[in-house]
Amino acid sequence: MSSQATINITVIGGAGLIGRRHVTHVLDEPMTTLCCIVDPTPAGAALAAELQIPNYPSVEALVAARNAGSLTVDAAIVATPNTTHVPLGLLCIDNDISALVEKPISIDGASAISLLRAAERAQARGSTARVLVGHHRRHNPYIRATKKALDAGVLGRPVAFSGAWTLLKDAKYFDVEWRRKNGSGGPILINMIHEIDNLRYLFGDVERVYVERGKETRGYEVEETIVMTLRFVCGLVGTFVLSDAVASPYNWESASGENPLIPKTGQAVYTIMGTRGSMTVPELRRWHYDGQGAEGSWLTPMAIDDSLKSEIDDVPPFTLQLRDLVAVQRGEKEPTCSGVEGCKSLFVVEAITKSMETGVPVMVEKPQL
């Protein structure tokens, strides 16, 4: 494929909340064309009519149109409920269409692996179809700046961290039944999966987790509050608090202003502590012993460095994620978040759920590919 070719993209679930965000970014990006949407709902038909593009009720109908020569499609963004990610991703890959699957890649590790194996088979037969996972925060400027700082060694060796994702979801959010049920509706799979992918991107793979579950306040099946410890393969250890039932500004969306629907507070939600300094994220404030080197200690005044804030730009993470898909489809690079990476983050979340249910530490399994 020519490196200058425009990438034709469909959004599956284009009329949904996250689907509409993807539609907007595809329309705004010069390197992409929104060739159609796939959505069986009346809202899907209305959106397609508004945009003057085709709408198909299923991926099968889209493939039939492509095979009949009436449609060109290179890649699909799968923006549908969690339980449908793998079945829809398989349909795409098996029909030589790259799939950017919204997080989580699946609701269970076994089905996620089936999608990765389908991608391997597609590559073996010469297909350009690839699987990417929509952990868009890897493209967030605060995460990019933190990753750059850690890779440059400005904190020395990271030893410990603390983190939080805590807020109060509105009552209407739970009008959707599956959000009240165990399995895929709780904050572990919906929200903690983002945090785990952030942490894995910054520190590497997680080795072991241990979870304590808090009391529920709403009376639903799903968990509300958990506290966990995590041990990483690199030796770093940390704690994390997760809750969607507390009035709190300490969550990524509020801290970073990433989600336009959630008011920005700018509070720090990650604290990373290393042998040469510590920093807060997304505040990007570094504390260190200025010029003291090995002589600095708790008896030495600490200096503050805010220079990392100069790394921040205003390019939306969804835009960078879309450009990543374009570059991958053109064969210019590997995915920033591949199917394998998405699967590894899912396996950590499965270990978190297992520890919550059993009350004991759980070693994180490695995907057997």
For the cut 60, the answer to whether the pLDDT of residue 1 exceeds it is no
- Whether the model pTM is above 0.95: no
Predicted local confidence at residue 182, as pLDDT: 82
Per-residue burial over 197-234, b if 16 or more Cβ lie within 10 Å, else e, is bbbbbbbeebbbbbbeeeeeeeeeebbbbbebebbbee
Provide the domain count of the chain.
Answer: 2
Task: Tell me the angle at which helices 85-94 and 109-124 cross, rounded to the nearest 10 degrees.
Answer: 10
Clarify whether residues 201 and 85 are in a common domain. no
- 88-129, pLDDT tens digit by residue? 999 999 999 999 999 999 989 999 999 999 999 999 999 999
Please report, in angstroms and rounded to a whole number, the separation of the first and last CA atoms in the chain. Answer: 28
Conformational region of residue 256, where left means phi above 0, alpha means psi within -120 to 50, and beta covers everything else:
alpha
Cα separation values, 199 from 272, 344, 350, Å: 11, 12, 16
Q: What is the mean pLDDT of residues 157-171?
A: 97
Tokens of 81: 């409920």
Predicted local confidence at residue 292, as pLDDT: 55
Specify if 28 maps to a domain: yes
Predicted local confidence at residue 85, as pLDDT: 96
Clarify whether residues 152 and 299 are in a common domain. yes
Element (H, E) at 200: helix 193-203
Specify if 1 maps to a domain: no
Specify if 112 maps to a domain: yes
Clarify whether residues 258 and 122 are in a common domain. no
Burial of residue 40 (CB within 10 Å: 0-12, 13-18, 19+) is: middle
Clarify whether residues 145 and 268 are in a common domain. yes
- 199-247, pLDDT tens digit by residue? 999 999 999 999 999 999 999 999 999 999 999 999 999 999 999 999 9
> Other CB atoms closer than 10 Å to residue 369's CB: what's the count?
10
CATH number at residue 225: 3.30.360.10
Clarify whether residues 74 and 163 are in a common domain. no
- 311-323, pLDDT tens digit by residue? 999 999 999 999 9
- Rounded CA separation 45/233 (Å): 48
For the cut 80, the answer to whether the pLDDT of residue 184 exceeds it is no
Predicted local confidence at residue 293, as pLDDT: 55
- Rounded CA separation 205/178 (Å): 30
Residue of 322, 302, 283 whose CA lies nearest to 77: 322
Return the bridge partners of 12, or none. 38, 78
Predicted local confidence at residue 2, as pLDDT: 44
Q: What is the mean pLDDT of residues 68-80?
A: 97
**pLDDT band for position 294 (cuts 50, 70, 90):** low
Domain that holds residue 285: 138-305+347-363
For the chain, give the percent of residues with pLDDT over 90.
Answer: 88
**pLDDT mean across residues, the chain:** 94
Clarify whether residues 195 and 217 are in a common domain. yes
Specify if 293 maps to a domain: yes
Clarify whether residues 155 and 70 are in a common domain. no
CATH number at residue 127: 3.40.50.720
Clarify whether residues 142 and 129 are in a common domain. no
Residue with tokens 């053109």: 330
**pLDDT band for position 195 (cuts 50, 70, 90):** very high
Let me know: does 47 contact 59? Beta carbons within 8 Å.
Answer: no
**pLDDT band for position 5 (cuts 50, 70, 90):** confident
Length of the chain: 369
Clarify whether residues 166 and 99 are in a common domain. no
- Rounded CA separation 229/244 (Å): 18
Clarify whether residues 255 and 187 are in a common domain. yes
